[in-house]
Amino acid sequence: MVTNAGSLDKTEVYLFDGHKIIETRDGSNNMVQQSVHGTRYIDEHVMMRVADKGDLYVHQDANWNVIGATDLGGSLVERYEYSPYGQVVANQETGYGDRDGDGDVDADDKGTPGTTCTGTLTGACRILDLDFDGDYDSTDGTKFDSLPQGNAAHPGRHMTGVSQHFGHQGLLFEAETAQYQNRARQYGPGERRFAQPDPLRHRAPSAATDRIALHVYLYEGSSPIRFQDPSGLYSTDVHYSDSKLWAEAVGYPSGPASFLAAANDGTDGIPTGPLPAPLGDQSRHFDRSINWGWPEDSRAWWWVREKDSAKVWCLAHNPTYALMAIGRGLHSKQDWWAHGMYYMFELGQLGPQHKHPDWYDVIIYDSLETNSGRPPSYISYSYEDFPPYRRLVGTTSDSQEYLRDFRNWVCANKLIAIECFCALGCGSGN
């Protein structure tokens, strides 16, 4: 319920399919708006229906920003422009009922019910079916008279004029608060911050990671063009930013932590086999054990091999190459948590819900048939059983354990790995 002073008082009821809003109703349980979603992304919008006004097709860009809405006649009704952080400018080109697409809603569009647009409605005539019963009759004509008449063009608004409330990255925009609804919390595009702290703010266990507390309101790692955060739970550059923090948390000096994190982040560009370019067979990132005929997850093979390689480089007195190897192995460890059953999705044996996620903030389920290399307790049967923050917590724990194990080995082998011993700060009392 949203209650404001004066004429803004209202009650809105939202109906969900999982975590997608599919219908809005008023306080009398009348339908206000319905939404049709796509299958490629949780906030992909295909079409919307506004009671007593009409249907609109919704168009989005590569970052899932809603950039336009067109009517059933193909006319652009409203287009949207955004700042990088989601402040919107809505440019209304026409309105509901503009059958001839001239930017005006008038008698020429209405015609005469029963004479104009008879029989099965096609093309722009579908715009006049305001009660959505498939024909154009006097009931629709009465509803047409209630539509805003005259020139419908209104450029430069900061909110929709046609009740199209999805905007930046497909998120629901609440005009009453001027904030986007990111499910777990609200985001203010003007402030470029969340209105509530990150639920994971408790995860800073030491002075090395206390700086995370400064960023509990941070939106998408201050990179909204690069990331999406539909759940409001977490979005950051795990392979670099978090890996650096996690390395520092277990005793790595800042310089080596940055270096191994950069090697981790660069692993996405390493070919690991013949198919497909540029990432090879992607065995560092997705389980390719079925390709190789191996009983173990290919990512597990990589993180063990890279850690062993890092130790060999330390014995060869080359800490630079050792840090590169441990960064690459860490990448596979993190992707074990992140990417689920992507290979089975490629084979067409699983539905799109198993497609590789855009990191941990995307609501995505793991396979019900197998744990894909994860402990059985982490098999996800529903979003509530395996929300994104649990995946991130697992990634945090495993990453720190992987890094700590290697550093402990280095610190225990000073005489044979002196360069690595010094580079990882083993003599500093940590």
Write a three-state SS string for the chain: CECCCHHHCECEEEEEECCEEEEEEECCCCEEEEEEECCCCCCCEEEEEECCCEEEEEEECCCCCEEEEECCCCCEEEEEEECCCCCEEEEECCCCCCCCCCCEECHHHHCCECCECCCCCCHHHHHHCCCCCCCCCHHHHHHHHCCCCEECCEEEECCCCCCCCECHHHCEEECCCCEEECCCCEEECCCCEECCCCCCHHHCCCHHHHHHHHHCCECHHHCCCCCCCCCCCCCCCHHHHHHHHHHHHCCCCHHHHHHHHHHHHHHHHCCCCCCCCCCCCCCCCCCCHHHHCCCCCHHHHHHHHHHHHHHHHHHCCCHHHHHHHHHHHHHHHHHHHHCCCHHHHHCCCCCHHHCCCCCCCCCCCCCCCCCCCCCHHHCCCCCCCCCHHHHHHHHHHHHHHHHHHHHHHHHCCCCCCHHHHHHCCHHHCC
pTM for this entry = 0.59
Q: Which residues on adjacent β-strands are paired with residue 157?
A: 90
**Tell me, what's the pLDDT at 205?**
37
**Tell me, what's the pLDDT at 299?**
83
Tell me how far CA of residue 103 lies from CA of 95, 97, 148, 154, 417, in angstroms.
7, 10, 12, 10, 75
Query: Mean pLDDT per segment of 10 residues, for the chain of length 430 residues?
Result: 58 86 91 88 89 92 88 92 90 89 89 90 91 91 90 82 89 89 88 81 41 64 72 69 87 94 82 43 71 72 94 96 96 78 40 34 31 34 39 78 96 94 81
Burial (CB count <10 Å: 0-12, 13-18, 19+), residue 395? buried
Tell me how far CA of residue 385 lies from CA of 66, 366, 381, in angstroms.
31, 11, 6
